Amino acid sequence: MSSRTRLTNAYKNAQVIPFNNDSKFVFFSDCHRGDNSFADDFANNRNIYFHALKHYFQKGFTYCELGDGDELWENRSFEPIFEAHKNIFLLMKQYHQEGRLHMIYGNHDMVYRNPAYVKKYLYSYFEPKEERKETLLQDLIYHEAIILKHRETEQEIFLTHGHQADFMNYHGWRINRFLVRVLWKPLQVWGIADPTSPARNHKELIKVEKRIKRWILQNNLIITVVGHTHRPRFPEPGDIPFFNDGSCVHPRSITGIEIEDGKMSLIKWQIATKDDGTLQIVRILLEGPQKLVDYKRA
């Protein structure tokens, strides 16, 4: 099966969510939430991420996570991840209760395509203070892809993780997971990177991006937003509408994409120092805002 076929199948089977210019969305991906050990790449940015997610919740945004949210290659189950980042999952529960949470699985959390796994680990958790089970992300469904479809213009935005353009991280993900668990995770402490990741393999990154762009050209230049490579991308109108929200494991910062007032923006959240020496978390606009209709094919 070719990358084109994999992307096409994801598009055909995607959940469709209607929206309009009053809708507000934020996309993050590649959080790689771990167990807060030396191998947890997310741990350094967890306070930045939590603050950003709180900001978007208070502002009425819908949160779409575009895959690799949880690091389930290095970690054998969800439980240690939940314990390490419980405050984040309880905030996600609030999004979910208000119908403002949409989740996509990637190669590092491919197990979430199994509804039984999601039900077992994510629907509830044990609260030791109360000595009973509490609901968490009850009835949550993970999707391979989501299509946002504008109610008036019928313009579509295709959201997926992007590993469909990466054979070994789609069909061979179990092999890569095994290699990460037994080989690359222990070597991380020495600063040796995992070569199976396109984010750390520039040649593979370029190949993945080219395959997705080729698919976009063959499919009416639909706006496509992915993660996977960790490289933020925000094209100008008239270019191939291939977007990437980056990741939440950049050094000391996270990147994402916002949709608000019918416009799209690439943003970064990071820690900055005030004049008095105190620290604060700030949002920085990297690209945009750009009207979605500017990407609409004539």
126 pairs with which residues across the strands?
133
CB neighbour class for 17 (10 Å; exposed up to 12, middle 13-18, buried from 19):
middle
Report how far residue 290's alpha carbon sits from residue 276's, in angstroms, rounded to the nearest whole number. Answer: 35
- Coil, strand, or helix at residue 296? coil
Joined tokens for residue 125:
């958790």
Residue 229 DSSP code: S
Unique residue bearing structure tokens 């000595």: 131
**Within 10 A of 191 (CB to CB), how many other CB atoms are there?**
6
- Alpha-carbon gap, residue 82 to 122, rounded angstroms: 9
- Residues with Cβ within 8 Å of 118's Cβ and at least 6 positions away in sequence, in order, are 112, 137, 140, 141, 142
b/e code 88-110 from CB counts within 10 Å (16+ = b): bbebbbebbeeebbbbbbbbbbb
Q: In this structure, what token pair is assigned to residue 48?
A: 């930045």
Domains in the chain: how many in total? 1
Whole-model pTM: value is 0.91
Instruction: List pLDDT tens digits, range 27-66.
Output: 999 999 999 987 788 999 999 999 999 999 999 999 999 9
User: For every one of its 298 residues, what pLDDT tens digit does the chain have, with 9 covering 90 and above?
Assistant: 788 899 999 999 999 999 999 999 999 999 999 999 877 889 999 999 999 999 999 999 999 999 999 999 888 899 999 999 999 999 999 999 999 999 999 999 999 999 999 999 999 999 887 778 899 999 999 999 999 999 999 999 999 999 999 867 667 657 777 777 666 556 555 455 555 555 566 788 889 999 999 999 999 999 999 999 999 999 999 999 999 999 999 999 999 999 999 999 999 999 999 888 899 999 999 999 999 999 987 6
| The pLDDT value given to residue 135 | 96
* Strand ordering across the sheet containing 145-150: 15-19, 145-150, 156-160, 223-226, 242-244
pLDDT value of position 258: 98
Query: What CATH number did the domain enclosing 285 receive?
Result: 3.60.21.10
Q: Which domain holds residue 149?
A: 3-295
Name 149's bridge partners.
18, 156
